[in-house]
Each structure stands twice: as C-alpha cells, then as structure tokens.
C-alpha cells in the first residue's frame, strides 16, 4: 500500500482548512492538505461577511494583504418590519476601524491558495477523502484512487459535506432558505449594512463594492418562487419586504438559494481526529457567526498544537483540551444565532413588543451596545 505519513493532515482546503494549515506552519508544524476539488475549480459565488477579529487572524497569516476586493462595514442598522425598535451600531463606538468586511468567497479562496503555495504547504487537489480510520497512534485517510495517508492528527475541515460525516449531535431545520444575489439601490450604501427582521425570517443587505449583497431569508416553499421572479417583480417584492431606507432597488443580479439549518456535530470525532469549521457547526447566517467561529477554530487548534509536546500531538488529552477551550465560544455563537432566528422569525404580539424593547435598549444603552458588538466581532472572549 502506498501510504504517506505527515504530522498533520487537513481534509478540505476551504477557508477554514487553509487557515488551519497556515497557522500550523506558523507554529512550526508541517501540515498536508487534501482537497476534493481540482486545482483549477471555480469557487462559487457566495459572499462572506468577516468580523474584525477574523481580519486580525488573516493579517497575522499574511492573507489579508493579498485581498483587494473587500468592502468594510462601518455601521449596522437593525430593525423589525411592522413594529417599533431600531438599533444602530457603529465602528467608532467600539473603537475598531470596521465592524466587519464583505468579500467574495472566491477572492478569499484565491488569496488563500496563493498564500499556501508561497508557504510551500503541500496541497493535494482532486483528492476526495472517502474514509477515515482512527487508531491509537495515528488516523488513516483513504482517498478515492486507493491511496492512503496517515498522521497522528487529522483535522476534518470538509464543510460538513464529507461522505463519512457523523450524525450531528443537534440539528434544527428552520424551514427557511436564503435567496442571495447582488442588488443596486438608489442611494449609495456609505458602508452601512442592514439587518431587518420579518416574520418570515431576517433580510440582510451587506455593502459589497458599489452594490449590496442581499441575503433574503424566506420560508422554504416561498424561496424558490422568489428567486425565480423576473427582475422587475423581484425588485418590487424586495422593496415591499425590506422598505425604502435605501431608496428604490434598481437592479438585481442572478439569484441563488441555499438551505438554512443548524447542525452541531462538535469537534470530537474519534481518536486522532478533530472537526473544525462548518464540519463541526453549521449555523444560520443571520448573525454572521458561523464562518468567523470556523476561523477561530482553526486558529485556536493551531495555537494549541504549537503549545503541545510533539509526541502528544493529536492525543486524546490534546483533543479534549481543544474541545474544552472552544466550548464557550462555539456554543455561545450557536445559542445566540438560534435565539435570534427563533425569537425574531414570528409575528407573536408579545414577542414583537419584547423585540422592540430589546432593540431600543440596544440603541440607548451604550455598554450593552459595546457588549453585543464585541461578541459579534471577537466571539465569546471579546
Ligand atoms: C451554498 C452555501 C452558501 C453560503 N453562503 C454564505 C453567505 O452568503 N454568507 C456567509 O457568511 N456564509 C455563507 N455560507 C457559509 C460559509 O460558506 C461557510 O461558513 C464557510 O465556507 C465554512 O468554511 P469551511 O472551510 O468550514 O467549509 P467550506 O467552505 O465548505 O470548505 C470545505 C472544503 O472541503 C472540501 N471537501 C469536502 N469534502 C471533502 C472530502 N471528502 N475530501 C477532501 N475535501 C473535501 C470542499 O471541496 C471545500 O473546499 C454558505 C454556505 C453554503 C454551503
């Protein structure tokens, strides 16, 4: 059998797997990455919202300097349709240059690919991992062409899309889908993002270049119909749904839909195997938490690996310490996101009033505002 042995194997060269490999190298630990897609595969068109904390991670890895398609969010406007209560957050109030950054997934993928190549990190493209066998001293990966790879630590960052993924410990189907596309509004965005809660689900407008990236959450049975509306009907429906804070919606790009759910699998998998990023937790995008938690997973795992004696890398004690260290941040993000979706996606009158009061409190009570903003930027330890 042709078996290659490495110190750390990373399954998946998505943003979380790539960041993990780069951060491990900064800790002096060589990683090998296996990616199912071919090297020249075109990344899809999704848009990502990065927190300021994620920017700091990408800066330390030399990735941020390579990104040129980034739009800062300096203000966020939060409201609910058909009820009182508005909250506004601004970067100045939290003393950060921006509350977040919007960029195409494809741009981040290209920058990460280049940084991995510059750092001479081995990435085997077109290698879909079929099976992971865990053992006492090492875990072994079987890939489709019959080759196998072994390492004392295997990091699964396959986005939760692997063939042998375990059943999540906790799942919630929100019966919602996201309709995403770019839209042009009558008024310039001036780097302001919007989060508007409606009984059918939240709608977000994220400044992207000279346009907005729209994430319109709808009930599953409505989403496909909305996505297929002709442009003029779509723009009119969006105006009715979102309101006129940005003037008219003038133009919309091609629409896509994606399912929204909560799936919490956790980092613990088997001996010598750890799960990070979307492979460990897939979140609703309402609070922009999922992707940023994934980057913190990668960063914290690499830091802990650097602090672990080489012979203990991937040991049960190390993986348990990692799970313990991540619990507060991950479960905090999962709970906060789930709370927002469930409390805001309905039209129950007492809840509507309570939400209005909550938004008012956020608006007028600066310490609460700073508390919420810092947790959204830096996670539970913010
Ligand atoms: C359709 C879709 C749309 C989304 N849109 C948004 C959005 O608009 N805004 C937002 O903030 N977030 C969005 N998200 C979430 C965001 O994309 C994720 O949080 C983020 O990509 C997670 O990064 P990751 O590296 O963990 O996983 P991924 O980005 O999914 O990367 C996983 C990588 O692993 C590879 N892989 C999978 N299986 C294997 C295998 N068996 N062997 C080897 N490699 C494998 C994949 O090819 C991929 O490169 C979206 C997610 C999806 C699925």
* Cα–Cα distances in angstroms (integers) from residue 197 to residues 42, 227, 273, in the given order: 33, 19, 39
Residue nearest to atom 28 of ligand 1 (CA): 159
Count of beta carbons in the 10 Å neighbourhood of residue 15: 27
CA of 215 to the centre of ligand 1 (A): 17
Which segments of 200-260 does DSSP mark as H helices, in order?
A: 220-228, 231-242
Rounded (10°) angle between helices 105-118 and 15-26: 30
**Percent of residues, the chain, with pLDDT higher than 70:** 86
Beta carbon of 160 within 6 Å of any ligand 1 atom: no
CA of 47 to the centre of ligand 1 (A): 11
Length of the chain: 382
Does residue 86 or residue 162 have the better pLDDT? Answer: 86
> What does the alpha-carbon distance between residue 249 and residue 39 come to, in Å, rounded to a whole number?
38
Q: Could you read off the pLDDT of 260-290 as tens digits, one per residue? A: 889 899 998 889 999 999 999 998 887 778 8
Tell me the CATH number for domain 3-43+104-169+261-344: 3.50.50.60
pLDDT of 129 reads 94
Map tokens 């493209």 to a residue.
Answer: 125
Predicted TM-score of the model (pTM): 0.90
Mean pLDDT, the chain, whole residue set: 88
Domain coordinates of the chain in residue numbers?
A: 3-43+104-169+261-344
Average pLDDT over residues 55-60: 96
Whether residue 164 has pLDDT greater than 80: no
Is residue 290 lining ligand 1, measured as CB closer than 6 Å? yes
Would you say residue 55 has pLDDT above 50? yes
Round to whole Å and give the CA distance between 153 and 132: 12
* pLDDT of residue 371 exceeding 90: no
Instruction: Identify any residues that bridge with 5 across adjacent strands, giving them in sequence order.
Output: 150
């Amino acid at each position: 059998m042709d078996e290659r042995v490495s110190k750390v194997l990373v399954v998946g060269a998505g943003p979380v797997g790539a960041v993990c490999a780069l951060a491990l190298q900064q800790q002096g630990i060589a990683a090998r990455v296996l990616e199912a897609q071919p090297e020249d595969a075109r990344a899809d068109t999704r848009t990502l919202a990065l927190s300021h904390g994620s920017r700091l991670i990408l800066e330390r890895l030399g990735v941020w300097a390579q990104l040129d398609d980034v739009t800062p969010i300096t203000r966020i406007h939060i409201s609910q349709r058909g009820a009182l209560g508005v909250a506004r957050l601004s970067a100045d109030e939290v003393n950060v240059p921006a509350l977040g950054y919007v960029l195409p997934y494809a741009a981040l993928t290209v920058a990460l690919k280049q940084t991995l190549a510059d750092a001479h990190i081995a990435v085997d493209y077109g290698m879909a991992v079929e099976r992971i066998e865990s053992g006492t001293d090492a875990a072994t990966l079987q890939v489709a062409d019959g080759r196998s790879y072994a390492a004392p630590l295997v990091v699964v960052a396959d986005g939760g899309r692997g063939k042998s993924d375990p059943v999540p410990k906790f799942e919630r189907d929100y019966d919602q889908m996201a309709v995403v596309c770019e839209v042009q509004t009558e008024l310039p965005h001036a780097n302001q993002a919007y989060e508007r809660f409606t009984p059918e689900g939240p709608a977000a407008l994220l400044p992207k270049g000279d346009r907005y990236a729209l994430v319109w959450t709808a009930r599953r049975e409505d989403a496909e119909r909305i996505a297929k509306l002709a442009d003029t009907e779509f723009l009119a429906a969006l105006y009715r749904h979102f309101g006129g804070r940005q003037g008219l919606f003038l133009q919309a790009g091609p629409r896509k839909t994606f399912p929204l759910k909560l799936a919490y699998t956790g980092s613990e998998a088997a001996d010598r195997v750890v799960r990070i990023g979307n492979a460990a937790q897939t979140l609703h995008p309402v609070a922009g938490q999922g992707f940023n938690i994934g980057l913190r997973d990668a960063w914290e795992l690499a830091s802990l690996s650097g602090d672990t004696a080489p012979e203990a890398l991937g040991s049960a004690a190390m993986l348990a310490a990692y799970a313990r260290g991540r619990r507060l941040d991950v479960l905090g993000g999962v709970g906060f996101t789930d709370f927002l979706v469930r409390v805001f996606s309905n039209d129950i009158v007492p809840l509507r009033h309570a939400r209005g009061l909550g938004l008012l409190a956020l608006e007028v009570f600066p310490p609460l505002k700073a508390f919420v903003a810092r947790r959204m930027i830096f996670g539970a330890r913010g």
